[in-house]
Amino acid sequence: MTPALIVHGGAGAATPPALQTERRSGLTAAFEAGWNILVQGGTALDAVVQATVTLEDHPLFNAGLGSCLTEDGTVEVDASLMDGTTFQTGAVGAVRNIKNAIQLARAVMTDGRHVFLVGEGAERFAREHGLPHATADELITTRQYQRWQAQQTTGEPGTVGAVALDSSGRLTAATSTGGVFNKRSGRVGDTAIIGAGTYADSAIGACSATGDGEDIIRATLARTAVELMRGGKDPAQAARTALAHLTRRTRGESGLILLDPFGRSGVVYNTQSMGVAFRSEGRFVVRV
Ligand code: ASP
């Protein structure tokens, strides 16, 4: 089976021209990190985690380094992932001082006792599992600090995610974010919620969503989109129908990426822009 991969860098306001080249190269590097794993026969799970880590480590995306700040001026991140074959999931919410939240979500999944850890308990779990720690100073970029100081609320894109199909037919999805600008401490968004921001079922499809988290949770967007592919239905159409459902019922703004077990894809958004990188008909495509 031919592998497939889509990486996204969030949906929101148009990317300022000065940031476009760097965002494009970040998405390209993330795609390559995941793609190299897939073409060497690696798993979809490793591919989505590696692609997501690459974007968490990039300062121009709202995840890991470069996360937006809460109203208290802190960083609290959310992340989740789902293996569509084993139906195992791992999620973390409102976590401080973690370098790569997606690796923490993966550790929660591998540990298997629980599927969702938040706050201090999640931070303790990260320490016990030896995951790289990062202080607020190490996670906050000058750019995000200045936005917070100026209370600049423009909905810049930057949440990150990936969906992959590996050569054994396994579908996996992952999503990671700093959340929404100026959120209350303790707020957890769709990115940490299986079925809202992330969902995968290897028999049907995989989805990673981005956008207005409260609305995405209300619409259980990722699971809705995947269920719309049941029976081999076209992912592009499923993505449009899921987004129309979100818009109609909540007026939310969002973007989502979908893959099905045949490697067919769907990419839609109702925001000004959405960063994506994928391969289509043998050609690499990257947009910001
Ligand atoms: N969905 C994310 C959240 O609400 C934010 C985003 O995707 O831009 O936390």
Protein residue whose Cα sits closest to atom 8 of ligand 1: 211
Ligand 1 closest atom vs CA 62: 8
Q: Ligand 1: does its nearest atom lie under 6 Å from the Cβ of 177?
A: yes
A 10 A CB-CB count for 248 gives 9
> Residue 130 corresponds to which tokens in the numbers above?
């030896």
pLDDT of residue 152: 76
Residues facing 258 on adjacent strands: 207, 266
The domain total for the chain is 1
CB 156 near ligand 1, within 6 Å: no
Distance between CA atoms of 174 and 66, rounded to whole angstroms? Answer: 18
- Tell me, using a 6 A CB cutoff, whether residue 70 lines ligand 1: no
Can you give the CATH number for the domain in which 219 is found?
3.60.20.30
Residue 179 CB less than 6 A away from ligand 1: yes
What is the residue-level pLDDT of the chain in tens, covering all 288 positions? 899 999 999 999 999 999 999 999 999 999 999 999 999 999 999 999 999 999 999 999 999 999 999 999 999 999 999 999 999 999 999 999 999 999 999 999 999 999 999 999 999 999 999 999 999 999 999 999 999 999 877 767 899 999 999 999 999 999 999 999 999 999 999 999 999 999 999 999 999 999 999 999 999 999 999 999 999 999 999 999 999 999 999 999 999 999 999 999 999 999 999 999 999 888 999 999
Cβ-based neighbour number of residue 120 at 10 Å? 11
- 282 alpha carbon – ligand 1 mean position (Å): 31
Q: Nearest Cα to 57, choosing from 19, 9, 20?
A: 9
Output the pLDDT for position 282: 87
pTM of the prediction? 0.98
DSSP 13: S
Which pLDDT does position 281 carry in this prediction? Answer: 82
Q: What range defines the domain where residue 202 resides?
A: 4-287
Indicate which residues carry an active-site annotation. Answer: 159
pLDDT of residue 234: 98
Q: State which of 8, 75, 154, 212 you would mutate to test the pocket of ligand 1, scoring each by most atoms of that ligand within 8 A of its C-beta.
A: 212
Task: Indicate if ligand 1 lies below 6 Å from the C-beta of 10.
Answer: yes
Atom in ligand 1 nearest the alpha carbon of residue 187? 9
Distance from Cα 203 to the centre of ligand 1, integer Å: 27
